[in-house]
Structure 1
Amino acid sequence: MAIKSRFAVSMGDVFPHGAFVVSEVEQVRDFEKSSAGRPVQQLDKESGLPVWSVSVLDADPEARRQDKTVVVKIAAHVQPVPPEAAAGLPFRPVEFDGLTVTPYVAENGGRPRVAYSLRASGMRAPGAHGKPSPRQSNQDAA
């Protein structure tokens, strides 16, 4: 059996030790539709929503160096707002809603390996139970 599309996973399945935002949220460029002077933002194939990306640090102490930082793409009408920084932490802890994974084959120095693309429908502070941050709620109302 081959899985040909995204499948749902829980935050704990992907990031059992937690995750931290380590970049700004940026538009994902659609390279097929963009030109040199005219960038076009990628749209999610399933929802039609604009796609944003954020780099995340996996807090798993046993994760390999090359697997410590991953990109999560988020399909949303407006640019998602990362959670506020937590006191005493250098990074912002985050949880993702509607997390999905898509496996694919990637080349690694001529050797194929299985890689994963992560997507989400939103992000929030840990323990917020699906409630967006106040700043994100204000953006959604606009």
Structure 2
Amino acid sequence: MTIQKRIPLAHSAVFPSGAYLKGGIEPVLDFNSPIGPDGVRPQSVEKESGLPMWQATVLDADPDAAKRDTAVTVKFLSKTQPVVPANKTPFPWTPIEFAGLTALPYIDETGSRPRIAWSFRADGIFAPGSAVDKGAA
């Protein structure tokens, strides 16, 4: 059996109680590159595809999620900035679902002891119920 680098997961497996977008989708800045003459840091580009990287802060609605796991970052690879679905709620957070969600485990050593953490990436962002829940087969 071969396990690929990124593990495909269904949105409902990662966010069984729902997910909410906090803010918008922003470019991932490349902190390894010098600041340009205009004073702006360039956007990160994924090495394999050459596509620009974008990121969103997502709130996990799982009431059992640990405090440090209630807000996660989900990244996108896209030539253009992904479009956020309209927020049709009276709340400041937009309910969302992801298509093509994948996860990459890594060791987070920033706390008092190392732990397994996850780097999430998605192909698309949609209003709940409007996307196909792609995931592991």
TM-score tier by shorter-chain length is 0.7 to 0.9
The equivalent of 1:138 in structure 2 is: none
CA RMSD, aligned part only? 2.1
Q: CA deviation at 1:92?
A: 0.8
- Structural mapping, 1:48-127, within 5 Å: 48-127=50-129
Question: What is the alpha-carbon distance in structure 2 between the residues aligned to residue 35 and residue 4 of structure 1?
Answer: 34
Q: CA deviation at 1:88?
A: 3.7
Q: CA deviation at 1:22?
A: 0.7
**What is the identity, as a one-letter code, of the residue corresponding to 1:33?**
S
Name the CA shift for 1:38/1:2 in 2 (closer, same or farther; >3 Å). farther
Residue 23 of structure 2 contacts residue 93 of structure 2 at CA under 8 Å; is this kept in 1? no
Q: Which SS does the other structure have where 1:24 is aligned?
A: strand
TM-score (norm 2): 0.84
- Structural mapping, 1:122-133, within 5 Å: 122-129=124-131
The equivalent of 1:24 in structure 2 is: 24
Q: Which runs of 5+ in 1 are unaligned?
A: 131-142
Larger RCO: 1 or 2 (CA < 8 Å, sep 6+): 2
**What is the identity, as a one-letter code, of the residue corresponding to 2:6?**
R
Which shifted more, 36-45 or 114-123? 36-45
Question: What is the alpha-carbon distance in structure 1 between the residues aligned to residue 16 and residue 65 of structure 2?
Answer: 11
TM-score (norm 1): 0.81
Residue 17 of structure 1 contacts residue 59 of structure 1 at CA under 8 Å; is this kept in 2? yes
Question: What is the alpha-carbon distance in structure 2 between the residues aligned to residue 14 and residue 41 of structure 1?
Answer: 27
Deviations 1:72-103 (A, max 9, x none): 01111111121111234442111111111010
Q: Which SS does the other structure have where 1:108 is aligned?
A: coil
Deviations 1:42-66 (A, max 9, x none): 1123322111111011010111111
Q: How many residues align?
A: 130
Name the CA shift for 1:107/1:125 in 2 (closer, same or farther; >3 Å). same
Residue 76 of structure 1 contacts residue 122 of structure 1 at CA under 8 Å; is this kept in 2? no
